[in-house]
Amino acid sequence: MTAEFYAAHASGENWAAVASELADQLQTGAMPQNALAFLYVTEALSDDLGSILTFLRSRLSIEHWIGTVGVGVCGSGRAYFGVPAASVMIAPFSDDDFHVFEPLKTDADLDAPKLQQAIDRLQPIFGLVHGDPGAPQSLSTLTELARVGSTYLVGGIASGERGAPQIADRIVDGGLSGVLFDSSTSVQVGISQACTPVGPVHRVTDGREGVISTLDDRPALEVLKEALDSDGSESSIASGRYHVALMIPGSDTGDFVVRNLVGVDPQNNMIAMSGDVQAGDAIRFVRRDGVAAEEDLRRMLGDLQKRLPGKPRGALYCSCVARGPQLFGTESREMMIIRDELGDLPLTGFYGNGEVCNDRFYGYTGVLTLFV
């Protein structure tokens, strides 16, 4: 019989109350002898992450842990924001099935013997990563890690203005930490960008350093206004609902990375976006609001279900702080939609400052990984 995943989530007045409730929930099940545990806590418990880890490791007799801090944390059908809360999932993987690695702070760290030996042994095609917002320069290792291991990565950036602790079998900080899984690990991954495309894909014909002068050899602001006109009479650039999406080269599914529309220049008919843009880049305009967010989330879940060979064993959800109640109206609405579509299954995750899917960082997205 295949070993089961177990999950628990709880809030309370302090770290001890939260940790005790998590342990009590989890110890009602037949815990696996060999396991990897995922642990996420809200910012209110950031300073207590080490105490929570020590307590749960002792109570549950599980050696290997990974995790970090989020603005919010989530479980099946439930999310928590602004309160002391934590979410845990126990996955029945043996020590030979994965490798937990401590923060990679430069590309040179990818040459560490232990990491190279793990890549050679596991031949990983999937991994989970957590990044420290206080060390943005080290996050450049993401693309190289994906390349070196030929690995599809998911995860997110922790929450915290001055950085945040991570768990990589112990409390660590800085860089990019996580876990690589053996090639036999079976997952399905979906990404929801909470956006509805507005108008067709355009080619940047003059632009640099985030400023777009022309699209398809036409004034960029003129093209933007046409797109908004086609989206409805109440559309407005100033509404904050519209963004620029950079199309991902080589994608056969129309994937894109969303960037903020940060300004317009009516005198010169130019627009400005966050991030870099170059002549030749393909972009489109998108609208983000509650309706678009729910539609896109349900679309993503429907696509995932078509690919599933059976009911998922467990799930990880890495979502953006700009989603949750800000897009879905109530703090648990996003997680209730996932439970409605997939059923009640062991799930853990967090709301952070950026999301990882494959070898890229995203914003405003929800990245769902299903273990099958």
Q: Is 266 exposed, middle or buried (0-12, 13-18, 19+ CB in 10 A)?
A: exposed
Residue whose pair of structure tokens reads 């393909």 in the numeric block: 282
Give 22: exposed, middle or buried? Use CB within 10 Å, 0-12, 13-18, 19+.
buried
Question: 126-135: b or e for each residue (b if 16 or more CB lie within 10 Å)?
Answer: bbbbbbbbee
Gap between the Cα atoms of 22 and 83, Å rounded = 15
pLDDT digits (tens, 9 = 90+) for 326-351: 889 899 999 999 999 999 999 999 99
Rounded mean pLDDT of 151-165?
88
pLDDT in tens, 249-258: 866 556 788 8
- For the four alpha carbons of 115, 120, 122 and 124, in that order, the dihedral sign comes to positive
Q: Which amino acid is at 187?
A: V
User: Measuring CA to CA, how many Å separate 313 from each of 23, 94, 151, 243, 291?
Assistant: 20, 16, 21, 36, 30
Do residues 362 and 155 touch, judged by C-beta distance below 8 A? no
Full-model pTM: 0.88
How far apart CA 201 and CA 226 sit, in angstroms, is: 13
Q: Is the pLDDT of residue 1 over 60?
A: no
CA dist., res. 104 & res. 102, Å (int):
7
Alpha-carbon separation of residue 189 from 55, 177, 334 (angstroms): 32, 20, 17
Model confidence pLDDT, tens digit, residues 10-34: 999 999 999 999 999 998 767 787 8
